Amino acid sequence: MIATLTDSRLVRGEPSEPSDVCDYISPTRLNTWLQCPLKFKLHYIDRLKEPTSPSLFLGKRVHDGLAFFYRHLQNGDHLSADDVSRHIVASWDEAVAADEMEFASCDDEATLKRQAIELIEAYLDMRNDNEGLPRAVQCPLESPLVDPDTGDQLGLTLFGFVDLILETPTGFAIVDFKTASRSSAPLEISHEVQLSCYAYAFRHVFGLAEQEVQIRSLIKTKTPKVETHRYSARSDVHFRRLFAVIRAYLNDLQANRFAYRPSWTCAMCNYRETECLQWLG
């Protein structure tokens, strides 16, 4: 039987303050390190706070609205788009304060709030009632890391939040929500680390393999739309590649080696004009 949110094997949530990097590994930490080791160090080791961008804030509000909908659906309550929109409006000011979000103007804030509501409405309009039953929503999972090839225990845990787990007639689907600026089929490899982490933790906690993994993208176009991309269950190859990444990550941590890694993502980094320019290796 699949675990529930009250199962003792599920953790309560990620600490509100960054914990020591040796406490656990998460998909977000791995992806930040892969993107730029220096950015990882500044955020997770030096603990330099980054301002919340409008795009990130919008994504968090959309995720919160979807979680609100699916948690009610778990309990047999089918909310309307208006119900979820009212939740977004009611929780908006508290979320702004919690994230210390600053808007350039009241009009900018109103536009972002309207965009969040329109994305939720677009998602619920396309959603298929036969997609399956929600078994876990924004589910925090924790599992020990054991190398699938050698059986070595790495001595720390994998921790992460899974947006949604659906039970379908053919098995269980792990679903991750994204907000995106444009429509495009996401390359599976660009999400491989995250999806493999989710599948690894899912199998440990729930004791069974997923049937598929999905990326559901809510597109922030003038007329919002939703795209669902389906990928097969993770294979042994995926997990071998994941553990190769994890070992490389741990080697960098042990060696205190955090080189900067210039790429197109620098344009979105808050450290690029300050700490990054001061870095000399």
Quick one: pLDDT at residue 17?
40
b/e burial code for range 42-66 (CB count within 10 A of at least 16 → b):
bbbeeeeeeebebeebbbbbbbbbb
Quick one: pLDDT at residue 7?
43
Q: Considering the domain boundaries, does residue 266 fall inside one?
A: no
Look at the chain and report how many structural domains it folds into.
Answer: 1
Question: For the residues 24-29, what does the mean pLDDT come to?
Answer: 94
- Assign 3-class secondary structure to 77-114: CCCCHHHHHHHHHHHHHHHHHHCCCCCCCHHHHHHHHH
Reported as a single tens digit per residue, the pLDDT across 50-74 is 888 999 999 999 999 999 999 999 9
At 126, which CATH number?
Answer: 3.90.320.10
Q: Considering the domain boundaries, does residue 14 fall inside one?
A: no
Percent of the chain with pLDDT over 90: 79
Q: Considering the domain boundaries, does residue 273 fall inside one?
A: no
Q: Considering the domain boundaries, does residue 267 fall inside one?
A: no
Q: Considering the domain boundaries, does residue 8 fall inside one?
A: no
Residue range of the domain that includes 214:
24-255
Q: Considering the domain boundaries, does residue 178 fall inside one?
A: yes
| pTM of the model as a whole | 0.89
Q: Considering the domain boundaries, does residue 166 fall inside one?
A: yes
